[in-house]
Structure 1
Amino acid sequence: MQDIESVALQAELWSVAEELADAARACILPYFRQIGLSADNKDRDGFDPVTIADKAAEQVMRDILNKRRPQDAILGEEFGNSAGTSGLTWVLDPIDGTRGFISGTPTWGVLISLNDTSGPRLGIIDQPYVGERFCGGFARAEVIGPHGTAALQVRDTSDLSDAILFSTFPEVGTPEERAAFEAVMREVKLTRFGCDCYAYGLLAAGHIDLVIEASLNAYDIAAPIAVIEAAGGIVTDWKGGKAHNGGRALATATPELHAKALKILQQTLS
């Protein structure tokens, strides 16, 4: 296993991550807001769309990794697992928020993370259409966008009554999970829905305070964890444990908000 604490290796890994993000941008943008773009449904019991853009973007990222980091494992939404020997795994979601993508809203994003056995070590949330890239890990926490580069830093909100809460879907998950979410929602200042991974970028950039979700896959949450933790925030599951394998996620700006939201979630589910 390579020494991931090596500055030289970290620089190499960031170089690879940004090449992946650049390639995915170039691949996806020609399809966005293309009239007549079709989507297949991956879910027999609901609607989980996938487009040619999803598959093409993941394939181009895999091609880069096979060339630059063939020793690393890959976990991708569209093409599953590829084994590696380095102890490092690239976790790829080529379009997080495909429902938004096919609807023309710029709230989808490309998610890229690098995980070791402890979890995500670097992450990118990239929004190609608006040109924003949220980067976190290895002492880096910044957003690069139309207005230049700025440091990522979560807000210092400590009271739920002052907090802004986001989730992708109003139903959140099961009826029990929705009830727990709504118990937190009743305590916050403002709740908004529908931003997919972009909400996690907003949290890291200091614009909102909480994101609460359920029924996540590893590739939905790994990159946001790295970005938010680099910005000073906290991401756990609804029991306070690690969340990078998916399931339920609670992302907060401060320890105070995390403790208060976690208590409500646990009390409501118990």
Structure 2
Amino acid sequence: MSRIVYVNGEYLPEEEAKISIFDRGFLMADGVYEVTSVLDGKLIDFDGHAQRLARSLSELDMGAPATPEELLEIHRELVARNDIGDGMIYLQVTRGSAGDRDFAFPDPEKVTPSLVMFTQSKPGMADTPAAKTGIKVISIDDIRWGRRDIKTVQLLYPSMGKMMAKAAGVDDAWMVEDGVVTEGTSNNAYIVKGGKIITRALSNEILHGITRAAVLRFAQEAQMEVEERNFSIAEAQEADEAFITSASTFVMPVVEVDGTSIGSGAPGPVAARLREIYLDESRKAAI
């Protein structure tokens, strides 16, 4: 059965989906996106993703194509139509198409934003073997634009970072600016030292991760110590543990940075416990 996608008010088989060649998401990367995980047929952290979407749209002075309630309905309809047990829903909003290419924004009274959504089925996503073995990362220079807190579709450099990691025979890359880690290519980065969880504070330099917010909240509720500050690659290499968080990986241990094993070289207890708590609590709150 063909996957059913959503394009500007219509549910369509993916092979019938079309968007204008003049859409500004295609021509200018003038768009934002969200990815919401699905476990057991239910949405994880939907409210957080909806709120961040609203913020991204506001920061770019872009109109919302639907209300949060309407987006929730579309998410649920896509899950049902595609029979998604475990997986993800990708949502993208662009400034739309004015019928030609122009650097200037189109008149929002005349051009409505485009909304595209589709599902990705990932059976057993919460039980990935990588969570038990951990992943390896390299460091790369962070040369992205300065508003990384806006979840835009400008993903060329993160994609290049993924390919740099692949070429190096590892799983991912951590980006470094002014001697300290900003974040991973598609995730927030953490280290653990003496039982303390250390991660960069929120700013324009990093994405305000929805999974990050939930994990830090759960950590504090579990009486774990959290310190939000910068850390270097050298400090990471000397840490007891390291891990990443994202909507698709949840909490994922990092066992090697730039060829240096972290701690024992195996996933540590803090990351393992946080992953367990996050999955348990998220499933309870899923909608």
TM-score relative to the length of structure 2: 0.30
Select the structure with the greater relative contact order (CA < 8 A; seq sep ≥ 6): 2
Larger Rg: 2
TM-score relative to the length of structure 1: 0.31
